[in-house]
Structure 1
Amino acid sequence: MLVLLVFIIFFHIVSAALLFIATIDNAWWVGEEFVADVWRICFNNTNCTEIGDTFQEFSTLQAVQASMILSTILCCIAFLVFLLQLFRLKQGERFVLTSIIQLMSCLCVMIAASIYTDRRQDIHSGNPEFYDMTTDGRYGYAFILAWVAFAFTFLSGLMYLILRKRK
């Protein structure tokens, strides 16, 4: 049982790390001369422009930003709730609250990545100086990590739902 518990804790920490990297790192959409994410756009790795109200599709990016931040916060809260429930629950009870919070985190990261996938072309062509970005780029590793984090948080949520506290 101890090995299973260590595996679940490690899996949850990896999920949280993936969410942090996907939320913070500037590699959701990359090209030869630029990198972009939901926070800023950088040309030649030196000329960075913060994404703000000047962009036409800023409300879409705000939804992606909020969903990624919320998913990261919920994942951390789920871990703390798990640790509390580990010592408070009676034997044989399930970690239902932890599972619900982790599945909400999974839903938030799925919403963020789905919005970005659907509206990426609109987001990066909202400003005339960035028109080349929509055709010359590709999805970056942080975007892929967001989808991997979705799978990890989903599996983690299911593991908590199935897991019973045993000796």
Structure 2
Amino acid sequence: MLVLLAFIIVFHITSAALLFISTIDNAWWVGNNFSTDVWKICFNYSNCTTISEDATEYQAIQATMILSTILCCVAFFVFILQLFRLKQGERFVLTSIIQLLSCLCVMIAAAIYTDRHEHMHDAAEYLQLDFKSGYYGYSFILAWIAFAFTLISGVMYLVLRKRK
């Protein structure tokens, strides 16, 4: 049982780390001499311009990625609390619900980014960047991997019963 518990804790911490990296790092859309994320556009990998405040879809992405990271961390603390408080044989339902909400937030953010990153063309043309020649960066891919990890851990907590 200790091995299973250690695996669950490591899996959850890995999910949180993936969420932190994908939210913070500047590699959601990468191209020749530029990279973008949900916060800014960087060209020549050093000159950065923040995304316009008028771009409400990016504010939605920012908010849901931050919320997913916070929910994942809260779920971990709730899991630790429930680990010592729940009676034997009970399920970690609250932890599961919080983790599945984190999963939902990541999915929403990545889906909005997939749909709306093309609106960055206007800003890219202003900065004289060839935005269409870019590709999804590793932060975007990590966000989708974090989605899978949080979904799996949310289901694991739902199924998991506290045993001896």
Instruction: State how 1:41-120 maps to structure 2 within 5 Å.
Output: 41-53=41-53, 58-120=55-117
Taking the aligned partners of 1:52 and 1:135, their CA distance within structure 2 comes to 19
1:125 is the counterpart of 2:147:
no
Q: What is the letter of the counterpart of residue 40 of structure 1?
A: K
Taking the aligned partners of 2:130 and 2:39, their CA distance within structure 1 comes to 15
Taking the aligned partners of 2:149 and 2:94, their CA distance within structure 1 comes to 18
Which residue matches 2:162? Answer: 165
Q: What is the letter of the counterpart of residue 60 of structure 1?
A: E
Q: Which moved more, 1:42-51 or 1:62-71?
A: 42-51
Taking the aligned partners of 1:97 and 1:163, their CA distance within structure 2 comes to 12
Contact 2:31 2:131 in 1 (8 A): no
Provide TM-score, normalisation by structure 2: 0.96
Any gaps of 5 or more consecutive residues in structure 2?
A: none
Contact 2:96 2:158 in 1 (8 A): yes
Number of equivalent positions: 163
Which residue matches 1:22? Answer: 22
Pairwise CA distance, 1:44: 0.6
1:31 is the counterpart of 2:31:
yes
Provide TM-score, normalisation by structure 1: 0.94
1:15-49 deviations in Å (ceiling 9; x for gaps): 00000000000000000110100011111112111
Pairwise CA distance, 1:159: 0.3
| Aligned-CA RMSD value | 1.2
Contact 2:32 2:130 in 1 (8 A): no
| Deviation >2 Å, runs of 4+ | 130-134
Any gaps of 5 or more consecutive residues in structure 1?
A: none
Identity across matched positions, percent = 70
Q: Please give the secondary structure, in 2, of the residue aligned with 1:126.
A: helix
